Structure formats: structure tokens, C-alpha cells
Amino acid sequence: MTSVRIPDDWPTTEEEARAVQDGLRGRVVLDEPGPAPGTGRVTGVDVAYDDERDLVAAAAVVLDGASLETVAEATAVGRISFPYVPGLLAFREIPTVLAALDALPCPPGLVVCDGYGLAHPRRFGLASHLGVLTGLPTIGVAKNPFTFTFTAPAPPRGSTAALLAGAEEVGRALRTRDSVKPVFVSVGHRVGLAEACAHTLALTPAHRLPETTRRADALCRRALREAVEATS
């Protein structure tokens, strides 16, 4: 487990954080399809918090894209780096997520975030922010549609519907299980939206959520428990 220090120049106010988003948003790459689904390595990242103890734990779990076997994993624990502000959650998570990615013994390949990319009020959610900082292809797969609207996709697995901000498509609602609530897929960086949906389907052979998210969620929760026990 890696310990994380908050960077000295990390934003401390909402205004500073929005200025960082404005400065980085133009670097998002939207014209690359990304790696082929079901190939290479795919890495899930997720975080867990203990706000009372001011702790955040991040996990990165690398899967083989074809077999979905776990290839490598790493965790990092640090202090919470930003207050809770909707639309600015990346600033609470990124230092620790970057530390977990850096601790991996192999390149992560495509990174799947439990959250949003372009499906974000400022079009720069965690997946986009992380992709720009690392240069890695990234997508966001969220459990809910945030502030956006959609028409329910058809019941069969693989059905999609546009996730809309007014008339703008910012992602897609994707049915990963027959007649089960969809997940909400958006581009992060260096991956097309159709490819992001295909990756999500490849990662959901048996459950609603991607295996990357399921395994990273379990690992970061375990890392947080161990960190809390160590400080108790």
C-alpha cells in the first residue's frame, strides 16, 4: 500500500478547481477510437472514504481484456485532498488514484473509472481529468445519470439510449443485463463512445457493473479498512 501526499499546488477552493478544469478540458482527445474491446489490459480504479478520519483509499486492478483474469493490483491511501463539491469530485480522488496507478507493476492499458467523463456539467469528469493527466485512454461507467436525461433503452442486454444535456449527447445509457437498470457510459480521453460501450459490455459478462469496477471497489474498501485499523 502506497502512502500519498497532497501536492503543494493542489487546488483548495472551488474557484481554483474550476480554473484547473478550464485549463485542462481543451486537452481531451475525442477523435481516437482507443484499444479494441476484449484485448490488451483493462484497469479499474475506485476510491473509498472515511471522512471522520480524513482518509481516502484508492485501488487499481488490472485485468486481462480477453479472459478478465486479474493481472495486477495496487492500492494507495492518503488524506482527502478536497472538500465534497458536486462536479469537483475528481479533486478529492485524483492524487490517490494516480498513486495507485503508479504503484502497478505493469502498464494499465485502458482505464475504467467508476464515474463520469464528458457526462459532466463542465464536460470534464474524473475519467477525462485522469486521462489528460496520464495520457491513458479512459472511460467513465457510472451507476446513475447524474444531472442528465435519457429514454430507457430497450430491455435486451446491449441496448443503448442517448444520455442528453439538452440536445447534446454526452454519453449513453447501456443495458448490461436483460431488463436490468442501465449503466451510464461516457468518453474520458482517447476512446470513442461506441468503443466505450463495447468495452463496457466486454467487462460485464455476469453482472450489471464492469468487473473492473467490482474488483477495484472491493480492493479499495479493504485497503481503507486496513488503514483505519492501523490508525486505531
Burial zone of 54 (CB within 10 Å; 0-12 exposed, 13-18 middle, 19+ buried): exposed
- The alpha carbon of 117 is separated from its chain's Cα centroid by a whole number of angstroms, namely 8
Helices (H) and strands (E) in the chain, counts: 5, 9
In sequence order, the 6+-apart residues with CB closer than 8 A to the CB of 177 are: 157, 204, 207, 208
Q: Which residues are annotated as a binding site?
A: 46, 114
Number of Cβ within 10 Å of residue 135's Cβ equals: 11
Helix axes 14-25 and 126-134, enclosed angle (nearest 10): 60
DSSP three-state, residue 41: strand
Give, rounded to a whole angstrom, the gap between the first and last alpha carbons of the chain.
17
Binding residue numbers for Mg(2+): 46, 114
